[in-house]
Amino acid sequence: QVQLVESGGGLVQPGGSLRLSCAASARRFNIKSMGWYRQAPGKERELVAVITSGITNYADSVKGRFTISRDNAKNTVYLQMNSLKPEDTAVYYCHTNGWVAGTSSFVNYWGQGTQVTVSS
């Protein structure tokens, strides 16, 4: 069982910065990837950034502005968001996947979501 606790969302002006955090409490679970998705009103959920064994991948729309990082000791993933734009406004969801320890079961978990609003 994995619980994901997100923090750091809020209201910021265009050009500003926010840092999201997601702490995973994982028992008997071997994490493969941790990442962030977002969903804007009326749109589908989309990948923002993911980190897998130290390798990062980003959506084209956030490259050069967002940075994902992970503290393996704390099972925590961060998303540093700079130069924010109004189009970055969305609910941001933390995501992780991996294997239940001692099995071949591969599962996905989602956080509850945190609102990011970019507006003047």
Question: What pLDDT, on a 0 to 100 scale, did the predictor assign at position 56?
Answer: 97
The answer to whether the beta carbons of residues 107 and 1 sit under 8 Å apart is: no
φ/ψ of 47, rounded to 5, equals -70, 135
Q: Are 70 and 11 in contact (CB under 8 A)?
A: no
What tens digit of pLDDT does each residue of 23-40 get? Answer: 999 888 999 999 999 999
d(CA 50, CA 77): 9
* Cα 50 to Cα 12, 20, 32, 73, 75, distances in angstroms: 23, 13, 11, 18, 14
pLDDT of 64 = 97
Task: Please report the pLDDT score of residue 26 as a whole number.
Answer: 82
Structural contact between residues 70 and 77, judged by C-beta atoms closer than 8 angstroms: yes
How many residues comprise the chain? Answer: 120
Tell me the pLDDT tens digit for each residue of 80-108.
Answer: 999 999 999 999 999 999 999 988 899 99
pLDDT for 52 equals 95
